[in-house]
A and B are shown apart, each in its own frame.
Chain A
Amino acid sequence: MEHIRTPKVENVRLVDRISSKKAALGTLYLTATHVIFVETAPDTRKETWILHSQIATIEKQATTATGCPLLIRCKNFQLLQLIIPQERDCHDVYISLIRLARPVKYEELYCFSFNPKLDREEREQGWMLIELSEEYKRMGLPNEYWQLSDVNREYRICDSYPTELYVPKSATAHIIAGSSKFRSRRRFPALSYYYKDNHASICRSSQPLSGFSARCLEDEQMLQAIRKANPGSDFLYVVDTRPKLNAMANRAAGKGYENEDNYSNIKFQFIGIENIHVMRNSLQKMLEVCELKSPSMSDFLWGLENSGWLRHIKAIMDAGIFIAKAVSEEGASVLVHCSDGWDRTAQVCSVASLLLEPHYRTLKGFMVLIEKDWISFGHKFTHRYGNLDGDPREISPVIDQFLECVWQLMEQFPCAFEFNERFLIHIQHHIYSCQFGNFLCNSQKERQELKIQDRTYSLWAHLWKNRADYLNPLFRADHSQTRGVLHLPTAPCNFMYKFWNGMYNRFEKGLQPRQSVTDYLMAVKEETQQLEEELEALEERLEKIQKVQLNRTKVRSKQSEPSKHSGFSTSDNSAANTPQDYSGNVKSFPSRSPSQGDEDSALILTQDNLKSSDPDLSANSDQESGVEDLSCRSPSGGECVPSEDSGKDRDSDEAVFLTA
């Protein structure tokens, strides 16, 4: 709080970037956690909340006649242009925000004060939602080739690795320790993904400290062990995700890459993904293009091309595709590394796993994937996403690129993913927001020391709770294209890399498409579900009514035949409750019947709309049949209700008449 110089400034204008005429007048508030802008327009009083941790840069521009402009760029690609009437106020806001957006200690971050009003038990359960040990079990581990190793107990070998790691059975503690000494930051080769079908695996590590000629027997044995853990192949791919030039330059610093002559039966491969500095600049350039005011089509395309962003995305995808192919088609294991093995390696391993494993394409599976390849293997979240004040040269959009790769795949395979675009966007938002503890710190060890799990909440539980918002209505788990490995088309004209408007322009409402098929289908799906629930409720009630009628007739027959009294004692009890039940039913019936009328028209509507929208889902016949699936379910449900209902109703009416 001591950093806020002025908590409130009035008569501030928020400039709309697309139509510069409109500027909303309002009041700006600074709080300990947020910047809040409240519009004065009495009918809307629209509020814009910005977390301090989302602020990337603040720029104070030259004072004009109307006031002092302040430009706030956010890490979630929101751009806020404020005009503050008084230069002094503007300066105060500027100085306050500069400090607030750059916390120096973890304790200042929002997650330590964020309280979603959950009790301790709920919080702990939230943290238990994603368990990596379960994930390895799902992969089929441990087995005869792979075992859980405790060499990194208490982070004794490598402080950026997790404690629980899977290594080949034949790799002894001695080999691992030896290998780790030969690897940058001691990040020795460990299992990332095991492909059950053919025993091939994806392992990850950092670069070897080979320099120009150094060798390490244990490291060579380690790679041998990985190769032998896959009986289906007699060689091992070693993929260096750096451009060859970068890897060569590293040799001068005593690092470098594996020499094929020293390691037996390896195939060495470079895949040129640029380093974090190139990526940071590329994103910067692309965002500058997004900020252009009404650019022409060619300006935009040139700018996008020159930023090189999509080229970098393609490089990451290509690496992932290469590995997925090696594993699934050649049945060979792959060892992936870059320099330290925590940026490009994480990207590439997770893209490859996503292509190979349908489970990672589900909501929960995707959380597991991020938890495994990014969080547990020590991706440096705090450094890369600038959560604390630090070296700006460490900041780079590494996981953003991974999320974009996933989005590009979702565009290519619209039925393959259980989650939708919103899910990715919200994950990106929370990686920077520091509202939840998941993405704090640079390693598992730091997180443990900070007792993150005791002091903050888990994002995964939050997302899981709201999972209805994140479901892809087109998801078909049993679709021929989406089962098993995703096969990308080989011809380039069939696979386009697109600009992700939904992410980089997500706050420019004017640039968003006006019609969303996803939202529409989700609404249809939700409605169908509601109708089905209603149907179920009605059927249940019907059953109850019939039981009542049955009991009544029994009661009557009992009265006429008192000799059978003892045999009906139980039904007599239930019959005593029935009048109440029955009247309750009658009361609720009229209120339901109009809604039933709505239902019918709504069904017709949804059917029509489905028909009109299904060709848009591309010409793929499988997909179309998928949608038809959806559409035939609802009418069949709808049609059989009224007929059944009315039929039985008449029966029960007659019965009532009889009993009366």
Chain B
Amino acid sequence: MEFAEMIRTGQAQAELLRGPEEPPLRGTLCITGHHLLLSPGPQATPDLWLLLLRNVDSIEKRVAGDSGTITLRCKDLRVLQLDIEGVEATLDIARSIEALSSLESVITSFPFFYRPKGLRLGDAWHFHPPECYYKRVARETNAWRLSEANEDFSLCPSYPRAVIVPRAVDDSAVARSARFRQGGRFPVLSYFHAPSGTVLLRAGQPLTGPQKRRCSEDEELLRAVLAGARPGARGFIVDTRSPQAAKQARMTGGGTEAKAAYPGWKRLHRPLERGRPLQESFVRLVEACGDLEQSMDRWLNRLESCRWLSHVKETLSTACLAAQSMEQEGACILVHGAEGTDSTLLITSLAQLILDPLSRTMAGFQELIEREWVQAGHPFQLRCAHSAFSHARPKHEAPTFLLFLDCVWQLGRQFPLSLEFGEGMLLALFDHAYASPFGTFLCNNEKER
């Protein structure tokens, strides 16, 4: 398939409005395979205005007389208006943008074509391989080992090749535990808290099902975790679903750990919103922000009723709970929800940010995202396919990663001197997660990458 087939018209005269503060930009509009270009013409300033087509979330066209207007709503929440001369040109451009912005195939996307100056392919990849983090853990404790049981992604397609598991458990036990967990996501080490000697683990839900099945290797694995921490250590299993939801999950083969089967572990339910309700909350938040004419009361009402801030609060307090029980009570924590790829990662990454000063540095934060989001298999492509403006019915979209960034921002507000990076870093991460010339957030897991 060629891009040229989808480009109906190469260029047109247009005027771009970028918002109330910035002056309109007039010039020639061009469409390429990945970009929308606006060149102001030779007499004006030479700088080119450029938009990645992948960034377009929704497009709206309106025709009046012999000119047309296209409103582009971007995934980074910008709203742009293009006034284009000629009805035909307008329709053509709109259709081209529509086609090009919703390409499904990853291989045709821009990161495969993007070659920034000064960067060579393969150079900066694997900045933070799992081995690297294991080295840090191994310096502190001997109770854990790096397992390559998932070398060919056969145990768990969404885990990286190497994961950290208790030394006392061999690879065959790990394989059986993987079969007992949703998506093969067996419990792995997420973070080792050296000062208290406790660990943070994450997993998928156990597949107990209606018959309340058990898996002795899975039980053994968690027992080994406690034994490795210190004698008599306790553990908490933080389930990010409500008790009812966890019970219901049994009907579809999922469920939670039975109390009797895991001595020393206590289950806590901290229901966090996920999936579609979270996406709807995000959409309503952005809607409320877009209305500049409303009264203070109306704005506060809408802010309250979209419940975004209460999601932020619930997430943060659950992460604090995990961090506190590790630091103050010396307990090990296992976090899981259903699949263990969304709210689970929220909690484990935020808890690390709270506990570990290193992850609050610029490099440490990047490492944290690489390890706990990208490598841990957060399905970026599914979750970030559309942002708040899309009219398409949401299927798998959810702003989980944005919720994480918001929580980090709130922490930054509380502790203004503790984060090495600022708001700009968080905004950039948000932009790149949704549409980026870089490949970091492409695909759903390591296997696909």
Contacts and interface: CB of A to CB of B under 8 A. Distances in A.
Interface in B263-315: 288-289, 292-296, 298-300, 303, 313
B44 interface: no
Given A515-B417, A517-B417, A616 B422 contact: yes
B416 interface: yes
Nearest to B298: A492
A10 to B, nearest CB: 37
Interface in B419-435: 419-425, 427
Contacts of B424: 615, 619
A297 interface: yes
A615 B421 contact: yes
A616 B416 contact: yes
Nearest to A297: B313
Interface in A496-515: 497, 513-515
Given A297-B313, A493-B288, A514-B415, A314 B420 contact: no
B415 A515 contact: yes
B299 A492 contact: yes
Interface string B310-343: 0001000000000000000000000000000000
B416 A613 contact: yes
A513 B299 CA distance: 27
B412 A513 contact: no
Contacts of B288: 493
Contact of B299 (A314, A493, A514): A493
Contacts of B427: 619
Contact of B416 (A314, A491, A493, A515): A515
Contact of B417 (A297, A493, A497, A520): A520
Contacts of A490: 292
Interface in A453-510: 490-493, 497
Nearest to B285: A493
Interface in A364-410: none
Nearest to A520: B417
A573 interface: no
B418 interface: yes
A222 B425 CA distance: 59
A513 B293 CA distance: 34
Contact of A513 (B414, B419, B421, B423): B414
A609 B417 CA distance: 8
B296 A492 contact: yes
A593 interface: no
Nearest to A614: B422
A575 B414 CA distance: 62
A583 interface: no
Contacts of B422: 614-616, 619
A301 B162 CA distance: 47
B86 to A, nearest CB: 35
A612 B420 contact: yes
A613 B418 CA distance: 9
A506 to B, nearest CB: 18
Interface in A309-347: 314
A621 to B, nearest CB: 10
A311 B46 CA distance: 50
Contacts of A297: 313
A616 B424 CA distance: 9
Contacts of B298: 492
Contacts of A493: 288-289, 299, 303
Contact of B296 (A314, A515, A517, A616): A314
B290 to A, nearest CB: 9
A609 B416 CA distance: 11
A515 B420 CA distance: 14
B292 A515 contact: no
Interface string A276-299: 000000000000000000000100
A618 interface: yes
A232 to B, nearest CB: 28
Contacts of A618: 423
Nearest to A495: B296
B292 A491 contact: yes
Count class of interface residues, chain A: 20 to 34
A27 B37 CA distance: 77
Given A314-B296, A491-B292, A492-B294, A612 B417 contact: yes
- Interface centre among A491, A517, A609, A618, by most B CB within 10 Å? A491
A614 B415 CA distance: 13
A614 B298 CA distance: 33
- Interface centre among B414, B422, B424, by most A CB within 10 Å? B422
B283 to A, nearest CB: 16
Nearest to B294: A492
- Interface centre among B296, B412, B425, by most A CB within 10 Å? B296
A557 to B, nearest CB: 60
Nearest to A608: B420
Contacts of B420: 612
A81 B68 CA distance: 71
B418 A515 contact: yes
A414 to B, nearest CB: 12
A517 B295 contact: no
Nearest to A611: B420
A491 B425 CA distance: 25
Nearest to B361: A612
Interface string A601-637: 0000000010011111011000000000000000000
Interface in A566-614: 609, 612-614
Contact of A517 (B289, B300, B416, B423): B416
Contacts of A314: 296
Nearest to A298: B310
Interface string B349-376: 0000000000000000000000000000
Contacts of A614: 422
A497 B418 CA distance: 25
Interface string A511-548: 00111010010000000000000000000000000000
A619 to B, nearest CB: 5
A531 B181 CA distance: 62
B129 to A, nearest CB: 28
Contacts of A609: 417
B271 to A, nearest CB: 16
Nearest to A314: B296
Contact of A619 (B416, B417, B419, B423): B423
A517 to B, nearest CB: 5
A297 B294 CA distance: 26
Interface in B393-449: 412, 414-425, 427
A67 to B, nearest CB: 33
Interface in A1-44: none
B295 A492 contact: yes
A377 to B, nearest CB: 30
B362 to A, nearest CB: 9
Contacts of B412: 616
Nearest to A618: B423
Nearest to B289: A493
A614 B421 CA distance: 9
Contacts of B423: 615-616, 618-619
A616 B427 CA distance: 13
- Interface centre among B303, B417, B421, B427, by most A CB within 10 Å? B417
Given A490-B292, A515-B418, A615-B424, 4 more contacts: A492-B295, A492-B298, A515-B415, A616-B417
Interface of A: 297, 314, 490-493, 497, 513-515, 517, 520, 609, 612-616, 618-619
30 contacts: A491-B292, A491-B293, A492-B295, A492-B296, A492-B298, A492-B300, A493-B288, A493-B289, A493-B303, A497-B296, A513-B414, A514-B415, A515-B416, A515-B417, A515-B418, A517-B416, A520-B417, A609-B417, A612-B417, A612-B420, A613-B416, A614-B422, A615-B423, A615-B424, A615-B425, A616-B412, A616-B417, A616-B419, A616-B422, A618-B423
Closest 6 CB pairs of A and B: A615-B422, A492-B299, A491-B292, A492-B296, A515-B417, A616-B416
Interface of B: 288-289, 292-296, 298-300, 303, 313, 412, 414-425, 427
